Structure 1
Amino acid sequence: MRKPEPGANSDFDTMRKSTPARLGLGRAGPRYTTAAMLSLRADHARAVDAVMTEVARDWPRHNGLLEVHSQAQTREDYIRYPERGRRLTDADAKRIARLKPPPIRSPFPRGKGLGARFPSILLCIGDGLSSAAVEKNAAPLLRTLTKLLTSRHRLLKPIFIRNARVRIEDHLGEILRPDVICMIVGERPGLVTAESLSAYVIYRPSLKSIEPDRTVISNIHRGGIPIAEAARKIATLIDEAIEFEASGAALAGKTSPPP
């Protein structure tokens, strides 16, 4: 049996192996080792690139997405003026309006019949704060989610919004009036990964919607929630939003077990 090295701490080693956090890097005098510092700077550079680099121009077309733009014309504009990423340009707002689904006429009361069985869902992708996350994971997540939802919901044509903030969902909802919008968006990158996505689900959004109206599933990437599992979670969340006619804090109040 191998004897532990002097000063070795098995509990600390176990903890270090269980997390991507930078633990026990060693030091050279009062500073990090050269290898640790270079690794840190490389990860920081990848995070900056993910924020400032745009999703490839042909990426939306290759993935069957209609591309529209927020009022933020450049990445610098998007970073400096967040409110511009929350609205579509006037021209794209008019283009989007053509996608509005026709109402389903049903003799049944609200909550029953054909219209209730096939609510309208808009799945969209926004570049958000990480082009790397979108290019790596958004397309397979969208495809998997589409397969799970298509048999029981009316899916509108999926779209890609360039320079998008999450609250652009509210503008889309004001124009299209779908029952649910799910926006897949690149998360703010960290030093562990720049490839993490979030999915924001909101029931019947409008310009009057507020942040607690949204439910989010985050940390979708290879080292977090795998794509297949994330798609199942999102699909279940959309089903619950339709069933309870709510999302965000209101939905949590209806689905949480009683105390």
Structure 2
Amino acid sequence: MKNKELDANADFDAMRKSTPARLGVGRAGPRYTTASMLALRADHARAVDAVTTEVASDWPRRNGLLEVHSQALTREDYIRYPERGRRLVDADAKRVARLKPHGRSKSTTPTVLICIGDGLSSAAVEKNAGPLLRALTKTLASRYRLLKPIFIGNARVRIEDHLGEIIRPDIICMIVGERPGLVTAESLSAYVIYRPTLKSIEPERTVISNIHRGGIPIAQAARKIATLIDDAITFQASGASLAQKTAPST
């Protein structure tokens, strides 16, 4: 019996070390211990701060990004009215239009726009978006025409569609802060879509998520995104359509 108990304890310890989930935190009567409760509240506070706090005002400039803004002019506006985060303000739409590649019919080099949106975590953007942008740019620069990268304040993922309608690149890759949880507030996602327009729908997007030091590391994420972009260009598709075209034959 003692050997079985020791094995069970060892298995539980191994499981606890393999996951960030809160296992075996102890209790005081029917409640968490004080230490566990304080840790939970601190993690929750970090998650709330990541959603409500804006990216530092000089962050886009320091990372070489053209800064534009969605129609959600405040964080409260962004959270309460999601549709406002899916379109650029008119003035910025005109600025972005200048990035539209010319002579597309004469050029055989596909165009790629990388944009960064704060999304639901400013902490994720400030921590990981800069390194991911640089790694991805280095990987893609030799084979695609990269347009000026953009930072979009108060951005929802579907703002890709508005950008695609204006600029008409072959690929848009949007790096955006994920909704934070109690494990981390520093996780990014990358949404890739082939030739988006305002008529695009969600199944046309492919996403790589959980990009942070405890999930997919930056270097690995850059390789995965670059491979995804290569496939999207090759098969002229993304999302569910790309998945069907690249699925192994049975």
TM-score per shorter chain, which class?
A: over 0.9
Match of 2:12 in 1: 12
Q: How does 1:113-132 map to 2 (within 5 A)?
A: 114-115=107-108, 118-132=109-123
Match of 1:134 in 2: 125
**Runs of 4 or more consecutive aligned structure 1 residues displaced over 4 Å after TM superposition:** 3-8
Residue deviations 1:77-104 (CA, integer Å, cap 9, x gap): 0000000000000110011001101124
Q: Which amino acid aligns with 1:82?
A: P
TM-score normalized with structure 2 length: 0.97
Q: Which amino acid aligns with 2:132?
A: L
Report the Cα distance in structure 2 between the residues aligned to 1:168 and 1:6, rounded to whole angstroms. 54
Report the Cα distance in structure 1 between the residues aligned to 2:169 and 2:13, rounded to whole angstroms. 51
Residue deviations 1:209-251 (CA, integer Å, cap 9, x gap): 0000000000000000000000000000000000000000000
TM-score normalized with structure 1 length: 0.93
Report the Cα distance in structure 2 between the residues aligned to 1:51 and 1:74, rounded to whole angstroms. 12
| Identity rate, percent | 82
Q: Which amino acid aligns with 1:168?
A: I
Aligned residue pairs total 248
Residue deviations 1:85-130 (CA, integer Å, cap 9, x gap): 0000011001100110112444xxxxxxx51xx1000000000000
Match of 2:212 in 1: 221
Cα deviation, residue 10, structure 1: 1.4
Q: 1:199 aligned to 2:190?
A: yes
Cα deviation, residue 4, structure 1: 9.6
Counterpart pick for 1:161 among 138, 152, 170? 152
Secondary structure (helix, strand or coil) at the match of 1:9 reads helix
Report the Cα distance in structure 1 between the residues aligned to 2:6 and 2:130, rounded to whole angstroms. 50
Match of 1:109 in 2: none
Secondary structure (helix, strand or coil) at the match of 2:32 reads coil
Q: Which amino acid aligns with 2:25?
A: L
Question: Gaps (5+ residues) in structure 1?
Answer: 107-113
Residue deviations 1:134-159 (CA, integer Å, cap 9, x gap): 00000000000000000110000000
Match of 1:36 in 2: 36
Match of 2:248 in 1: 257
Q: 1:65 aligned to 2:65?
A: yes
Q: Which amino acid aligns with 2:85?
A: G
Q: Which amino acid aligns with 1:27?
A: R
Q: Which amino acid aligns with 1:62?
A: R
Q: Which amino acid aligns with 2:28?
A: A
Q: Which amino acid aligns with 1:216?
A: V
Question: Gaps (5+ residues) in structure 2?
Answer: none
Report the Cα distance in structure 2 between the residues aligned to 1:244 and 1:132, rounded to whole angstroms. 35
